[in-house]
Amino acid sequence: MRHIKIGLSLLVALLVGFAGMAQATSFSLGNVSGPSVFNVENIKDTGPFLDKIHFIIDPGVTLVFSALVGNYATRHDGIYDLEGTLSDASGVILNGDAVVINPLPYPDREITFPATLLGPGHYYLSLFGHAYTDVARGSPYYATIQFAATPLPASLLMMLTALGGFGLLGWRRSGRAAAS
């Protein structure tokens, strides 16, 4: 009787362990030191998943991050609850804005991460959801991740124009003083 209890306990523990398992894939974009575009695609088997896309922004560099993630559902597969977050060591920085596009008959889902200024550091984009497929091919998603140069604020351009004007004015006055 004791062996049966131990066997059932092990079976229950094994089933609970498999029920909690999720697919996980980790990608590294490496060090990002300037404007660039990365494309990532992955195919998920049926079940929950959590994928992380890591990147490092080099010291002394500030970039504008934006991303578009989506999946194309078909009659046989889809990721109907695709979500995403952008995080660093302190926690979540930005939640993606998920929308359903083309809702019938098979809903496609897109997540946009609006332009966000990021300084030097380690970051990761987490993509998660539940994939469904009734054929052997899996459910695909795609991600386009962009890093753009930091735009100069309009006030900085105005200040530089004013400094140039004062420099020109001073140069002209110094030329008149020398002539007289």
pLDDT tens digits, one per residue of 104-152: 788 888 999 999 999 999 999 999 999 988 877 788 999 999 999 987 6
- The mean of the pLDDT values for the chain is 84
Rg for the chain, CA atoms, rounded: 27
Position 179 in a domain: no
Cα torsion 125, 126, 132, 138: sign: positive
To the question of pTM greater than 0.75 for the whole model, the response is no
Position 10 in a domain: no
> How many domains, the chain?
1
Structure tokens of 159?
């200040």
Position 95 in a domain: yes
Angle at 63 between CA 111 and CA 51, to 5 degrees: 40
Position 4 in a domain: no
User: How far is residue 65's CA from residue 112's CA, in Å, rounded to a whole number?
Assistant: 11
Position 119 in a domain: yes
Position 157 in a domain: yes
Check which CATH number belongs to the domain holding 85 and give it: 2.60.120
Domain that holds residue 118: 20-164
Position 142 in a domain: yes
Whether the bond into 105 is cis, omega within 30 of 0: yes
